[in-house]
Structure 1
């Protein structure tokens, strides 16, 4: 029996229809029985359902003799940090990231923040949960409240040479998610002037769901950057494992270009390192990494898949165009704090604006941005598009969906791992009009195929 909230690399669903306290309780039992941990840390984002799910999950773990540490309100990266601490055998973040407030979910890791995905235990947990018949207790579980935030702040600051930082003015938009408290903890150690937007954690998301990938959610950050003449704008999703950047003009910077920027910055510190990237947009990253003396390696899209590949390759950095950035020195995990700190350091040390740091690459490789389409049968549409474009293709790759390349443009078409939608990304070489024309052509073809 499959459970709809179990996705390819995490758990996510609407509360209480797809995810509820009874399921959370059974998951705690299943996690304990499958992995046999002694101590597990639990943290939650700001959603109203988070505390109840955390307590139910704790009850399940405790029922099998596990010691449970309560991290309270925190970001997913803080849960990953907890899993890297001595004596902790696993950790679970209760979060639905950028989804609306009536959703919730869980991201699971083992000791050292090793991910639990569909290929490494999540399917086994799903079968165990489906086979169990148990209801969550209504009492308060006996957990130990702990915080690793001070040590985590010191870890983040270790990525920077603070003597070289300039007094930048930075707009920070927490989206009423969980990022605010960590920003406050970092602030005294940095020379930046922080202009804070939607800073207070509020799981009702009164200013809209915290998803800066949606164009309609970007304007408040962009306008604040312009109004305050800021050097940089940063916006986070709900559990702040992703940060999204705006340059000094208020222009949104696609995550794709930040991947190349960070890859070069980290290769400057460790020449010859390996860099992991996803297959959706690739040319800019591959070109920059090779020019910097690194080795680009492609991985299937998704945080669990990227982390597993990073460990296998001992890669120093991995990046996805969706603004997930992964760091070897952070247990190979994704992190929404390190990227903006590194970019602020680059602006300081290069004495160049962010628009100048990425502008040439944006012109060299224009992109469509990720475009979603709801279709009746994702597999059929992908197969039909491949049949149409394959005869003239220079190369075809099936790492994730289908990537088809030509001499001067390429595209990736794949089904989402978390939603019932088809995702399209198009890029070209030095030709924005070609990219736009091919994007429109592909969308028309997808729409026509889905109607038949």
Structure 2
């Protein structure tokens, strides 16, 4: 029995050839089919050069386990999520490595109604069976057919906006040569059909698995310049950039400034609460004050959850929350089976820009001014728990309010921070925020103090 190192906390990701290959993909498909015994599932893949072959291997494994497969072709992760809750199927698989380097690939797995399969909800069982290869004999093999989910997906996306209320806007769309381009084209056609006065300026829109403009990952500062430049060059109202499987989107204001995901959570909470006050909004504990402020202002209810998609989705289901947001640019929606989407956020932003008649910068600059944040700072440390304890001991005398939802958050009234161990790497992740109205100290002073403490 070979141990598979491609299984992670939330999905499957590994180096091609050694950690993930067609034989492993076959075993994963076969194990999924044997454990869950779905009648039919949907499958799709991103644009990476290895994705189609891995997808076909997984399909063969599923068919050999007696599962029928609807092959959605080249898709983003959320198209598979959509297929998994919209069609009469019992699960889905997306073959993708999202924003990982060129020599990686992976898979995201869901059950019926697009419920996530992660380490604590079945991924370990799939791993054990894929490793052992002890597959049961199946009398009737499954069949595979192709299915085009795009028209239905676009119809669903249009339910998040009111076409009659959209004002004339110019948007830069940067698909990063990933999987988003075909959806951008379809939305553009739909806008024209509905006479929505929005002009789309498309850059790096062609899907290209060689990634001639670099791996699509707008969280890296060096990957933001092309979007920023296009916004300024065209005098656009907003810029939108996606990662490879477009389950995360990143927004730039009309000045070309990249907006931290934290403030987008507030903006989208506002979008939903403008439509319906009293709704519940789920957020992660890394940065919270702006979210509290917006949710209170628009008469909603803020609910805190541990970071990570399976925790957010679970918490949203528990409270019937309309929206959940993480500062990492993952945004989740009740009407999207509590799944994350990279297409819904920018459509909602267009809705807010139209309804408030404001620019994106004027909507977020107040938030940024009131509640400045450090952005996420990562430290390589030998022992994450020991370092967290050291930080804890250092600040104990100041008697902060302490929260253990995820890592540890210390709140001093005028400023607060969250520090936690990464789920996937030997890193300590730090986020700091402050209240300008109570705090004369610049953010950098807090960053320097904690950096000295962590590295000292």
1:269 maps to which of 250, 275, 278: 275
Instruction: Look up the match of 2:138.
Output: none
- Provide closer, same or farther for how the CA distance between residues 444 and 2 of structure 1 changes in structure 2, counting only shifts above 3 A: farther
Instruction: Look up the match of 1:188.
Output: 189
CA distance in structure 1 between the aligned counterparts of 2:309 and 2:227, rounded to whole angstroms: 26
Unaligned 5+ runs, structure 1? 135-140
Instruction: Indicate the SS of the match to 1:99.
Output: coil
CA distance in structure 1 between the aligned counterparts of 2:71 and 2:153, rounded to whole angstroms: 16
CA distance in structure 2 between the aligned counterparts of 1:4 and 1:429, rounded to whole angstroms: 43
Counting only pairs closer than 5 Å after superposition, residues 11-410 of structure 1 correspond to structure 2 as 11-132=12-133, 143-190=144-191, 191-410=197-416
Instruction: Indicate the SS of the match to 2:417.
Output: strand
Instruction: Look up the match of 2:6.
Output: 5
- Provide closer, same or farther for how the CA distance between residues 404 and 258 of structure 1 changes in structure 2, counting only shifts above 3 A: same
Structure 1 position 380, deviation (Å): 2.5
Q: Please list the CA deviations of residues 79-124 of structure 1 after superposition, one character each: whole Å capped at 9, or x if unmatched.
A: 0000012320000111111111211111111111111112211122
Structure 1 position 433, deviation (Å): 4.5
Structure 1 position 2, deviation (Å): 5.9
CA distance in structure 1 between the aligned counterparts of 2:399 and 2:243, rounded to whole angstroms: 37
Structure 1 position 385, deviation (Å): 2.1
Instruction: Look up the match of 2:443.
Output: 435
Structure 1 position 389, deviation (Å): 2.4
Number of aligned residue pairs: 442
Q: Please list the CA deviations of residues 285-312 of structure 1 after superposition, one character each: whole Å capped at 9, or x if unmatched.
A: 1121122221111111111221121111
- Name whichever of 397-406 and 32-41 sits farther off: 397-406
- Name whichever of 394-403 and 229-238 sits farther off: 394-403
CA distance in structure 1 between the aligned counterparts of 2:50 and 2:39, rounded to whole angstroms: 26
- Provide closer, same or farther for how the CA distance between residues 420 and 104 of structure 1 changes in structure 2, counting only shifts above 3 A: farther
Indicate conservation of the 8 Å contact 1:390/1:396, yes or no. no
Structure 1 position 382, deviation (Å): 2.3
- Provide closer, same or farther for how the CA distance between residues 133 and 21 of structure 1 changes in structure 2, counting only shifts above 3 A: farther
Structure 1 position 159, deviation (Å): 0.9
Indicate conservation of the 8 Å contact 1:175/1:235, yes or no. yes
Runs of 4+ off more than 6 Å: none
CA RMSD of aligned residues (A): 1.6
CA distance in structure 2 between the aligned counterparts of 1:72 and 1:148, rounded to whole angstroms: 9
Indicate conservation of the 8 Å contact 2:271/2:349, yes or no. no
CA distance in structure 2 between the aligned counterparts of 1:383 and 1:395, rounded to whole angstroms: 16
CA distance in structure 2 between the aligned counterparts of 1:368 and 1:324, rounded to whole angstroms: 19
- Provide closer, same or farther for how the CA distance between residues 440 and 133 of structure 1 changes in structure 2, counting only shifts above 3 A: farther
- Name whichever of 395-404 and 360-369 sits farther off: 395-404
CA distance in structure 2 between the aligned counterparts of 1:419 and 1:337, rounded to whole angstroms: 28
Indicate conservation of the 8 Å contact 2:271/2:351, yes or no. no
CA distance in structure 1 between the aligned counterparts of 2:116 and 2:42, rounded to whole angstroms: 14
CA distance in structure 2 between the aligned counterparts of 1:445 and 1:34, rounded to whole angstroms: 48
CA distance in structure 2 between the aligned counterparts of 1:393 and 1:77, rounded to whole angstroms: 44
Structure 1 position 130, deviation (Å): 2.3
